[in-house]
Structure 1
């Protein structure tokens, strides 16, 4: 006989139930889907019947010749096309209409017979009526339309009966599957009751008997199953064996513990006394550490103050260095500007000397022009006298000397104009000579002033050179001061860090000594508490021996 695990049994029952449920649902879905297609077929076949009567009515209206004969003819042709497509869809199937291909031979034979009559008789007659108004076609239609519709009704009835048989078969299968499911459900409940619930109840009773007994650890539960419950009993028996070993060890240890408690109690009393002495010594050290902490704090504050002062000095030195550099640069720039100005003054002095020479030459030229003007003036005076004498002689000559008198008059006028021009030129030359003398005197004064200014600029350049040299020295000294201050600041920073670390160490030492003192006091209290606990532990050891004695091992 195959022995199955509880898990396997439960999974088997559950799987069978799930399979039966899925099978039932699947069969129902298949049946419902088939019925849905049957309903579409029946509705479509019903449309064949309705369209047959409608086409017969429209044919009669067309033959009679109604008002809307053209509209009715168009509608008749549309219904003929619709009827033709629908009957073909019923035979071959149409996904758009939800129709499947007809597979029942009996139904297919009837539908093909209807399709044959339609194609051979009715379709042609309706088309002739719609196009030509043929009365002969109407007569054949009216005589046989009822039998044609009856065949369609017979087809619909037969297909409805077939569909109903499918429903009946589906109901029978569903009821059968339900009975099978109920049977397996009852079987599963009985199996779970017999294979799971009752063994668990028996195991619970046996465990309850062991737990409520007199501490007999030698009683084990008998293993009669090879499933999960058998494994559970095996693990429980192993657990009892482990508990039995633990109780044996506790029983042995309780005797050793009882003897050890007495020795530990005496030792803890001596340690308590020693710890109290250590606490007093630590308190004295803690007080000294507090004083050291205060002194280190003062030293640290002083060092920090000196460090701040050195920082301020360093800032001043840096500003001095910047000022020296600026002064040095400004003095250098001023010296360069003075050199440029001195060069320009030298050029101006040279230009003034050249101008003075030119003025002297101009003065000489003016004197020469004055001499020439005197000569011209004398010539014009003599010319005037000659013209006057010529006029007198012409007057004496009478009529023959008149032309010469005119020439003599013109010469006299020219001589007078020349005399006046020489006077004006002489005045201009005198003015030029006076202005030239003034320019020469001013240029001489300017040359003296420029020479004095050049000498002053040489003195200023000398002083500026001294300033530049001193600024260079000041810059170098300020740089050395800054370097020294940086070194001093770094050293004070090191001193401040060292003082801070010393302060931290002293503070930590003070805190540690206080903590040690507190710890020693706590340890003293702990030793006293340990002593009390030892007494309580001794009592517990006695109780433990009594408890362990209750177990049967």
Structure 2
């Protein structure tokens, strides 16, 4: 039956894993069994404290009937004791309390519960309801005994829990002992089945490594596992070495004969190499000169490229300035158009004002004519008043009233004349001023018209300047594009020259390397001649070494 070593190791590992799993399962089972025991015992301790506390609260209630705080606390404790019995009997997963699985403990717990429900709970309720002193006396006399019965349950459960822990400890000791025994057995099997054959193979390799082994020997191994396969491969390896040693022995003999022929050929190659070396040195010097010329051309192209870059930077600055000038001319044209429009409005308003002044002058002349008529009327009235006075004086006493009226009319006529003369003087003065204003308005109007014509000329010139600035800006952009294209072409030229320079440099370096290689090769040929002698000697030594093996 063929059982592999890995299968044996797997079996051992599985056994160990089974032992470990068994230990873990047992420990986990023990943990599950004792898990909650501490909570159970602590819960009973809490119940004992509650009973003493309830007895104290009962005393407070009986001795001080109006102690509401004690009444409320006692009522709460009674409910909590009921809940505790419910949790202890049926279990409570939240509090990690499991139902009791021991019949004796369960019966004792039921006895404690029955005693609570039939004796202590009714007594506490009587105290709550009417402060019954007999119930208080019963509690005071029996509370210690009741707490002792709770302690008995706790002691019994503690012993039960210790028994579970002791059982788990014994199981763990048994598994540990079994593990140690199995470990010894498995270790002995590994030494017998794995280590001894490996040591034997190691000893055979050690003999062969010293160069004096018997290549006719083979290792015998009866098991058909990995070591058996290794033994088979080892025996095959020894057979191959035996064949190789035989081949080397024959080859070393032929090598000695070939070395003599190679030394003759090597001498001829050395002479040819010297000729090639001289030619390559000439090629290398020409490559160096070519590389220097290309480097000079690259330097010049880089200078031209740098100058083109400077020109483009200046063109960019000039383009910005032209752009600003163009924008300024556009803004100036807008302002000029605005001024022209405002000037047109000014001319129109000035003409209107001139027309108004002319109308005022005409109205003043009309007023002058009216005043002349008033003066004539006044003179006629004065003359009529004078005639009326003369006629009234002729009449005598009867014409005195008429004479007074005539005198008043004459005075009124004189006042009208005086007023008319004053108005006439004022009109003449204003008329002169209006005439002067009209002349000034004509002069201003003529100047504005002239300024309007000048502004039209300025607008025309401004349009020409703006047009010229646009043309210059477009031309400068075109020049910049040309410079950019020239710069890109120079970049391509420079890149091409760089490639040529790189190739020239590579050629120079390669030529120098080839020349150096040829010189090294010449030296190598000389070294080969020396090595041929060494190889010949090594062939003799190899035959001596191979002679030590038994094939």
TM-score by length of 1: 0.69
**Aligned residues of 1:286 and 1:510 also touching (Cα < 8 A):** yes
- Of stretches 541-550 and 413-422 in structure 1, the one that deviates more from structure 2 is 541-550
Residue 228 in 1 paired to residue 229 in 2?
no
C-alpha spacing 1:32/1:455, structure 2 compared with 1 (3 Å): closer
C-alpha spacing 1:262/1:446, structure 2 compared with 1 (3 Å): same
1:431 corresponds to: 429
Alignment of 1:95-494 (within 5 A): 101=100, 103=102, 107=104, 131=132, 133=134, 184=182, 187-188=185-186, 190-205=188-203, 208=206, 214-312=212-310, 363=361, 366-395=364-393, 397=395, 399-446=397-444, 449=447, 485=483, 488-494=486-492
2:512 corresponds to: 514
CA distance in 2, matches of 1:70, 1:332: 105
Cα deviation code 1:59-87 (max 9, x no counterpart)? xx99xxx979999x999999999999999
- Of stretches 229-238 and 168-177 in structure 1, the one that deviates more from structure 2 is 168-177
**Aligned residues of 1:37 and 1:100 also touching (Cα < 8 A):** no
C-alpha spacing 1:534/1:129, structure 2 compared with 1 (3 Å): same
CA distance in 1, matches of 2:148, 2:328: 130
Cα deviation code 1:157-211 (max 9, x no counterpart)? 9999999998998888777767766655554455445444545555555555555
1:531 corresponds to: 529
C-alpha spacing 1:114/1:272, structure 2 compared with 1 (3 Å): same
**Aligned residues of 2:78 and 2:121 also touching (Cα < 8 A):** no
* TM superposition shift of 1:423: 0.8
**Aligned residues of 1:114 and 1:151 also touching (Cα < 8 A):** no
CA distance in 1, matches of 2:473, 2:148: 132
C-alpha spacing 1:212/1:442, structure 2 compared with 1 (3 Å): closer
Q: Residue 546 of structure 1: which of 519, 544, 547 is its match?
A: 544
Alignment of 1:30-45 (within 5 A): none
C-alpha spacing 1:366/1:23, structure 2 compared with 1 (3 Å): closer
TM-score by length of 2: 0.69
CA distance in 2, matches of 1:307, 1:136: 120
C-alpha spacing 1:290/1:191, structure 2 compared with 1 (3 Å): closer
* TM superposition shift of 1:236: 1.2
C-alpha spacing 1:344/1:225, structure 2 compared with 1 (3 Å): closer
* TM superposition shift of 1:222: 1.6
**Aligned residues of 2:361 and 2:434 also touching (Cα < 8 A):** yes
CA distance in 2, matches of 1:287, 1:488: 35
* TM superposition shift of 1:387: 2.0
CA distance in 2, matches of 1:470, 1:84: 111
* TM superposition shift of 1:335: 8.1
For 1:222, what is the secondary structure of its paired residue? coil
Instruction: Flag structure 1 segments of 5+ consecutive residues without an equivalent.
Output: none
Number of residues paired by the alignment?
534
CA distance in 1, matches of 2:46, 2:311: 115
